[in-house]
Structure 1
């Protein structure tokens, strides 16, 4: 009987994990159009600003489109990630320097920020992943937002419309964003668990 119960619990754990994966895929599919447009704009912007060659962009586009066609890879589909980590043809330090100097926005390391879901915002983790963007603070009615995709007009437009235009932008590195997204996911899970526990104790 004990063995049967253990097998049942194990099967339920697998089913729960599978359901969670399907939910992530569905949510990422919801933002597929934003992913396509934002990456297309970012690639063009990098070429126009002399930070990337058109040949390298074409190679990155091929890899990016392969990822977009796969529901499993869509979560990590990123022209920027491909350029930096797969093809290694983009200098991230030069990119960040250009953004800060040309657009007069700040640079933030999310490792030094207390990442948590902001109250009263319609922001979900899938949107943050799809746009490599995290709103990390709110002062009065103004949001502090970190992004790897500031040079992509669709990302800026989407977030400013979502947050009613009250945004102070910051640029950040891909590594900082990746760790920030992981911490945000953990914070969301912790809040959900706390809410469920509180409901059970009522």
Structure 2
């Protein structure tokens, strides 16, 4: 469960996010990069704002779950971007990618409850706030398809950046938590 929880820590997602947005910008998919980047950032800022308001409430000290918020906005947005690339003749990859990215977000909520870091209310709040970011990712001005070949570039970038994210997650997560009170 700890591994699943790591997949949605800010220290793990940030290098992946920056690399993937960088690829979208390099491929001139500006609208998609802006929508996804804005959606993820909006979800995190809303979660931080809610946490700030509820900081003194003993019943909701960890509401909403930042891990679940990030998992839904990041991995759900990645799925939306992948699907924007259009469907190839080989449609077998779509259900596999859909199941994988959805499973990460769902398992993130389960792992946070099993690790006793959050209650189910915190997790549902994380899903709601993350869904706001996901809606921003799918906003109408960015619905156009990503450029031909961008999905392959995104997959290659993800394959290269994931091991780097695993190596730097402890250091980067500690650094971010030092500067941002969660």
Q: What TM-score comes out, normalization by structure 1 length?
A: 0.29
The structure that is strand-richer by fraction is 1
Q: What TM-score comes out, normalization by structure 2 length?
A: 0.31
Q: Which has the higher contact order (CA 8 A, sep 6+)?
A: 2
The structure that is helix-richer by fraction is 2
